[in-house]
């Protein structure tokens, strides 16, 4: 008898039934999911069922999330410090981030917005109108980045409406969508969604994927549909201890991206989100991985290794002169794009 089609997993009881958690951890994990949302898409549920630890660790809650270090923040990259209107972050002069929804098809256990994703739905009509008015009235804005949550969870009609509004603003030359949908819910990448993406003349998609096991047959087909539609594809990957902190694992992922016409763009140092210390590597460890990759893969396969400076000062490459070793082991001096200097210390739990 064929196996019944899987649906998204959203409860601790389902985790127990899948035998992904057991015993004394169940009580702790119930505490975890009261604060940090749980959702594993059908596609990733199927992929985890194949036994890949690199996926299970990303999506299945752990009691380790109850450990919150003193350095960890509810808004680690400082979105709220640069928010002129609800849902809109204006950190750099020429681009803004527009969080159009707080929903995702999966809730990653290391997410830097884990305090808010899953806690609400769409950005309200009044807030969206105010955000669009702000963009319309600010001609320095050349680029709008749709994020959330995941903007590709929106209905095609709603996504088209946002893109059409942005297309009417002559100064908005580029729209980026940051999304996990093509890999975690590839069934969404249908003709209606692809047609909606055509509502703005320059739409780019930045795919979030951290492990080659996420690139299932369905995911590869979805990325092929986007590529065939002429939509440029970049990737962003988070460096995660126990998931991809291995040069060969990263090399396999980046080579896989290129085969799918996805250019590796960013490798992010894991942000200081609350309850994520078990995922975080040291900066030196990340630099060693990048050194191991250089020469092992072509330049086209190498992303830029970056860190978002805590507090809202923007991201910088993890390289001199932006990141320099401090006088103490594990201490670094980070220089932001304005020239400001910030002390960063590897958290004690990072290895």
Catalytic residue numbers read 91-92, 95, 104, 108, 111, 113, 271, 308, 315
> Where do the H-state alpha helices sit in 103-167?
125-136, 156-167
341-345 and 331-335 strand pairing: antiparallel
Question: The sheet that has 315-317: what strands, in order across it?
Answer: 88-92, 95-99, 143-147, 174-179, 203-208, 233-238, 263-268, 304-308, 315-317
In angstroms, the CA 333 to CA 344 distance is: 6
- The partner residues of 307 in beta bridges, in order of sequence, read 316
In angstroms, the CA 153 to CA 149 distance is: 8
Please say whether the dihedral angle defined by the alpha carbons of residues 32, 33, 35 and 37, taken in this order, is positive or negative.
positive
> Which residue in 7, 39, 35, 14 sits closest to 180, CA to CA?
39
Contact between 55 and 48 under an 8 Å Cβ cutoff? The reply is yes
In angstroms, the CA 333 to CA 310 distance is: 12
Burial call 205-240: b when 16+ CB within 10 Å, e when fewer: bbbbbbbbbbbbebbeebbebbeeeebbbbbbbbbb
Question: The sheet that has 341-345: what strands, in order across it?
Answer: 323-325, 331-335, 341-345
Query: What six digits make up the tokens of 213?
Result: 């096991």
């Amino acid at each position: 008898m064929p196996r019944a089609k899987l649906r998204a997993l959203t409860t601790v009881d389902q985790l127990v039934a899948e035998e992904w958690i057991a015993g004394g951890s169940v009580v702790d994990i119930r505490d975890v999911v009261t604060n940090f949302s749980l959702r594993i898409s059908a596609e990733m549920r199927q992929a985890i069922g194949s036994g890949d630890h690199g996926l299970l660790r990303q999506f299945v809650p752990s009691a380790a999330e109850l450990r919150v270090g003193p350095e960890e923040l509810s808004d680690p990259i400082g979105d709220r410090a640069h928010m002129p209107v609800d849902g809109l972050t204006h950190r750099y002069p020429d681009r803004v981030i527009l969080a159009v929804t707080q929903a995702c098809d999966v809730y990653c256990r290391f997410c830097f917005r884990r305090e808010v994703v899953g806690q609400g739905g769409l950005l309200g009509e009044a807030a969206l109108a105010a955000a669009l008015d702000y963009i319309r009235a600010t001609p320095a804005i050349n680029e709008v980045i749709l994020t959330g949550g995941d903007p590709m969870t929106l209905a095609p009609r709603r996504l088209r409406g946002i893109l059409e509004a942005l297309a009417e603003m002559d100064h908005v030359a580029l729209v980026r969508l940051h999304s996990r949908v093509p890999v975690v819910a590839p069934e969404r990448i249908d003709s209606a969604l692809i047609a909606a993406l055509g509502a703005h003349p320059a739409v780019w998609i930045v795919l979030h994927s951290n492990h080659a096991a996420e690139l299932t047959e369905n995911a590869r087909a979805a990325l092929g549909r986007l590529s065939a539609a002429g939509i440029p594809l970049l990737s962003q990957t988070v460096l995660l201890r126990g998931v991809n902190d291995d040069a060969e694992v990263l090399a396999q992922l980046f080579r896989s991206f290129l085969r799918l016409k996805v250019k590796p763009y960013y490798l992010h140092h894991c942000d200081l989100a609350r309850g994520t210390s078990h995922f975080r590597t040291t900066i030196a460890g990340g630099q060693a991985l990048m050194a191991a990759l250089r020469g092992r893969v072509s330049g086209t396969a190498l992303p830029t290794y970056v860190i978002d400076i805590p507090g809202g000062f923007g991201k910088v490459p993890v390289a001199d002169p932006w990141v320099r070793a401090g006088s103490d082991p594990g201490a670094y001096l980070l220089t932001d794009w304005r020239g400001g200097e910030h002390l960063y210390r590897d958290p004690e739990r990072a290895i």
